[in-house]
Amino acid sequence: MNRTISLLFPAATGLIFSLLLFTLLAAPFPPQSAQALPPGHPPINTASITQIPSTPLDFFQPGTQPNTVTDAIDPPNNCKDCHANYSSQLNQPADYEPWTGWQGSMMAQAGRDPVFLAALAVANNDAANAGDFCLRCHMPRAFFDGRIANGQLITDPVETARDLEGVQCEVCHRLVDPVADPANPNRDPAIIAALTSAVYITSGNAAMILDPEDYRRGPFDVNADWGRPSSFPHFAAKGTLQSPYHQEAALCGACHDISNPLLSWDDGQGEYTLNSIGAPFTDTAKMFPLERTYSEWRLSAYNSPQGVYAPQFGGNKSSVSTCQDCHMRDVTGAAANFFGNTLIRNDMPLHDLTGANTWVPQILPLHPVFSDTFKDSSGQPNDRAAALQDSIVRAQYMLQNAASLSTRYDKTTHQLTIRVTNQTGHKLPTGYPEGRRIWLQVEGYDSNGSLIYTSGAYNNATGDLTLDANIKVYEILPGVTGTVAISASIPPGPTFHFALNNTVFKDNRIPPRGYNYAAFAAAGAAPVTNAAPDPARYADGQYWDDTVYPLPPQVVTGTVRLLYQTSSKEYIEFLRDNGGADGQILFDLWQASNRSAPELMAAAGFGHEIYLPLAQK
């Protein structure tokens, strides 16, 4: 049920608000660049490899191309007037406002993320122009407007700050469904037909199709809801259109199913090898798979009309199906305030876009270049800084509900069996593979309460994880082999060279409900053991993992913790040594913060029923 509420504003406030709305004058952020170290910074380490002489053509992907957009993409600050700063008058949480929820999200930080910027520097060093591909998703506004060259953002005194806003409002709200559907806006077939590339991808690999004109799209019939003409309420736009695509997981899949266009499968070599330099390659089925979050969901039980019962994620929904159901859960609230009028919906998507990253929001306000974004004119933390803190709390909630943990301890055999159950709609963990991991930490105590056994110990002071003989770490370890290793002068084995990795040495991440080995293998998402696809690692239908620990006979009780870490020490040090100025800045932030401290996802005891501290040790 929808209902309209009017808010009363003082006349002066209303006048100012009106002027802001009609002129759409939003003060630009100061231009920012993360390429230079602050004055007095110590020298950086430099590692050299043989750079692949790739060209922009090697990273060409179908979809809307640079400089083909007729109407400029409105910067996100212009959306703030109607989509923020009204919740206090409605008694709803502030992050129910689309702009407020978005501003603290990792989507909004996609262009500022210090981990990404360091990894971008490595990718460009490894393969010339590789950043052209990365920035399609991380700074799409800059890509569509033609401000990406040589794998980097072209700085501009006005546009740079806007481009750094990452995955922003109008980019998403002008996306066109690449798959024909009678329910889509009438103008979509002509947009697809006008694409300059004869080939287009229906999902994945950043092959987004953007409406070249400023027709803004969303899941609801806004015109009918408000009872106004098509130009309402976006007067700066040419129209507001209802788009079923914006409720489909395929929209998210555009940037969350990524393959490397530089590499493709070579039957003769029996491995992924470098494609011919200087020629586009667009067959994603043959490219080396980098990230498969969308495919993992697509092949899961969540991708069904009934979905999966998961009220902890769904907001107003008890069962969840699409990406949006969990990461933009439905709430009851107002998405906009237009001249004091609001429309309350029970199915309003929360624009928090929360994932699992709790560390980057902590270090952004400390960044030597980007910190001003999160300060007011007096140098104090502003609303954007507060939004980052809110995003940390939301991410912790997601982590604490992403898995369940159970234990069984046989005091006769002294074997502890731990089961981790994946409660998400994709692998656990999923997404960007480098430095991201989950592990089990086990502590065993004797009858005197003395700690006599530990597995998975972590040192908060140094960031070191002890890799003992029994440790269980859930992760994916890509790397290089064969001709790629030779071409880049890199020793074969696991590496963090994202743009060059051509194989997977390990992938024991827990699959979601509905897992089928053959389907996952066909999508480039098979479990891997010792550098080989492993059909026995998880049985079809299995979405949990059991680990058996042989404990000393003296252990009578203990605690098990499931811990998640955004970036490992090894990854941060690699980026420091290979990522130039951005890598050194990241390392400095890592040292100045909590070293990407692990987050507690779940905890369980075993043995006698005693009370033990659950904080990680």
Query: So what's the pLDDT on residue 609?
Result: 57
Extract the residue ranges of the chain whose pLDDT is less than 70.
1-48, 229-232, 608-617
pLDDT, one tens digit per residue, over 236-249 is 899 999 999 999 99
Query: So what's the pLDDT on residue 473?
Result: 99
Q: Is the pTM of this model over 0.75?
A: yes
Sign of the Cα torsion 271, 273, 279, 282 reads positive
- In contact, 52 and 128? CB cutoff 8 Å: yes
67 Cβ neighbours under 8 A, 6+ residues apart? 145, 146
487 Cβ neighbours under 8 A, 6+ residues apart? 50, 52, 274
What span, in angstroms and rounded, lies between the C-alpha atoms of 449 and 559?
A: 12
What span, in angstroms and rounded, lies between the C-alpha atoms of 187 and 415?
A: 64
Query: So what's the pLDDT on residue 338?
Result: 86
Phi and psi for 406 in degrees, rounded to 5?
A: -140, 155
Q: Where are the beta strands (DSSP E) in 109-250?
A: 148-149, 152-153, 215-218, 239-242
Helix, strand, coil percent content, the chain, rounded in steps of 5: 30, 25, 50
Cα 307-327-92 angle, rounded to 5 deg: 115
> What's 247's DSSP letter?
G
Sign of the Cα torsion 24, 25, 30, 33 reads positive
Decide: residue 309, CB within 10 A, 0-12 exposed, 13-18 middle, 19+ buried.
exposed
Judged by DSSP in three states, 13 sits in helix
Query: So what's the pLDDT on residue 196?
Result: 86
What span, in angstroms and rounded, lies between the C-alpha atoms of 238 and 527?
A: 48
What span, in angstroms and rounded, lies between the C-alpha atoms of 417 and 408?
A: 5
What span, in angstroms and rounded, lies between the C-alpha atoms of 303 and 294?
A: 10
